[in-house]
Amino acid sequence: MILASFTAPEIMHVNASDYTLSIFGNANMDDVIDESDIAYVEGIIEGTNEETELADAKHDGVIDEDDIAQIELIIDRTESELTIVDSANRTLTIEKPVKTIIVVSGHAAEAIRILGSENKLAGVSNIIKKKDYYFSDLSDLPSVGDWKVGDYEAIAALDPDLVISYANWPPISEVEENLNNFGIPVIALEFTNPSIITEEIEKLGYLLDERDNAKKYSIWNERYKVMIDEFVCELSEDEKPRTFLETAYSGPGDISTYGTGTKADIGLSMVGGKNIADILQISYPHVDSEWVINEDPDVIIKYVMSSEVEWGWNSTETPESLVNSVINRDGWEYLKAVKDGRVYLISNEVMEGPDGIVGYLFWTKMLHPEFDADPVAAYREYLSDILVLECPDLIFSYPETDAA
C-alpha cells in the first residue's frame, strides 16, 4: 500500500544518448574544437557541408570567415569570449579570461578542484564550508550564505567574473534576475546528471582554460562507464535482480523509495537491476512494510546521507546498526534479500556529483558479485589522481563487496 507521496523538484531524467559538447565552435559536432572544425566551416561557406548550429562560433547569426577566426582563437586558447549552452539550455556568451568564480554547490566546487582552479574561487556557500573533508583549504574563503535563500548582496560585494549555480535550485531565472542587477553573469552547471556530467566538466575546462585536466577526468569517468555498459549488455532479463531502493529519509514506520523516472530508478537499470517501485507513477513514493514484503525483492539497497551519518569518513554510527534498523522490521526476516544476506548501504557521497560513477560501480558489484571491478580502488584513484587528495580510510558501502 502507498501511504503518501511527493514530487521533488530536483528529479533528474537521464538522456541515454551520447552528449554533444555544446560550445559554439564545435562545428562538426565531434566534441573537440580543433582544425577539423575550421575545415568543416570552410565547407559550409563553400556549400559542401551542412550548416550546424554550433558552427556559428561568433554566435552572430552568420557563418563566415569570422567564425573561422574565432575557432582559431579557441584552438590557440586566446579567445576573448566563448559562447556555450548551459545545463538550463540557455545560450550564454562569457567574457574570458575568467579570473574569479563563486560556486554555491559542493558538486561545482568538486568540479573546480578537478580542473585545478581553486585559486580562482572568490567565495563559496556555507554547505561547501561544512564539507571540510573535501574542501578544508576553502574554509577561509568568504561565505555567500545558504544558497537556498541566495545572498546576492554578498556575491555582489565579491564582484566575481562568473557564478556557477544549479538550474532549478533555486531557479536559474531567479538567480540571473538578481545577479543581472550587478552585472554578474551566472551559468547553470549541475554536475549531478551522469549523462551530461562529462560534457559539463569539459565545458568548464574550456571556460577556465583547463582542458587537459577536464580530459583527464573524462577518460577516467568514461573508462568505468564503458566497463559497466559492456557487462550489463551481456545480461539476460532473468539475471537482473529485483531491487528495493530505500531513501535515506525512511524511518521505522515511514519507508520511502524511488519511483519511475527518477535518477536512481534509471541508474539501477543502467547497472543491471530492476526497481520494484518503478510500477509506481510517483517520483518518491512512501510505501508500507507490507508492500515491500509482498514484492519480496532479491536485493535491498539503502541510501545514507554522509552529512547526517558520517560513517564514510569519521564514523559516529556503525553501519551494522544501520543495516539492523532495516532487517529487524516486523516480517522482513522472511524477505529473500534478508535471508540471502543481500541488504546493503550506500553513501550518497558516491552516488551524486563528479564521482557518481563510483556509486554505480558499487551498485553493479552489489547486484552482480561476479562483476570484475573494484569500486574502492576506483574511488581512491579519483581522490589521488583527479582531485589530488590524500586517501583516508573509506567505507562508502556496507557490507563490503568482494573486491573491496
Q: What is the DSSP letter of 18?
A: P
Non-local CB neighbours of 7 within 8 Å, separated by 6+ positions: 282, 283, 284
Instruction: State the Cα–Cα distance between residues 286 and 257, nearest whole angstrom.
Output: 6
Q: Please say whether the beta carbons of 224 and 359 come within 8 A.
A: no
Provide the 10 A C-beta neighbour count for residue 211.
17
* Average of per-residue pLDDT values in the chain: 88
pLDDT: which is higher, 135 or 55? 55
pLDDT of residue 52: 97
Residue 148 amino acid letter: K
pLDDT of residue 1: 38
Q: Please say whether the beta carbons of 246 and 278 come within 8 A.
A: no
pLDDT of residue 305: 79
Give φ, ψ of 89 to 5 degrees: 65, 35
Can you name the residues that pair with 299 across neighbouring β-strands? Answer: 243
Domain 1-79's class? mainly alpha
Indicate whether 251 pLDDT > 90.
no
Instruction: State the Cα–Cα distance between residues 353 and 27, nearest whole angstrom.
Output: 29
Q: What is the DSSP letter of 142?
A: P
190's grid cell = 549541475
Domain boundaries, the chain: 1-79, 94-209, 237-398
Domain 94-209's class? alpha beta
The CATH classification of domain 237-398, taken from the options 3.90.550.10, 3.90.230.10, 3.10.20.90, 3.40.50.1980: 3.40.50.1980
pLDDT of residue 7: 34
Within this chain, domains 94-209 and 237-398 share the same CATH topology: yes
Confidence at 396, pLDDT banded by 50, 70, 90: confident
Which of helix, strand or coil describes residue 274? strand
Q: Which of 130-144, 164-178, 271-285, 334-348 has the lowest mean pLDDT?
A: 130-144
pLDDT of residue 123: 92
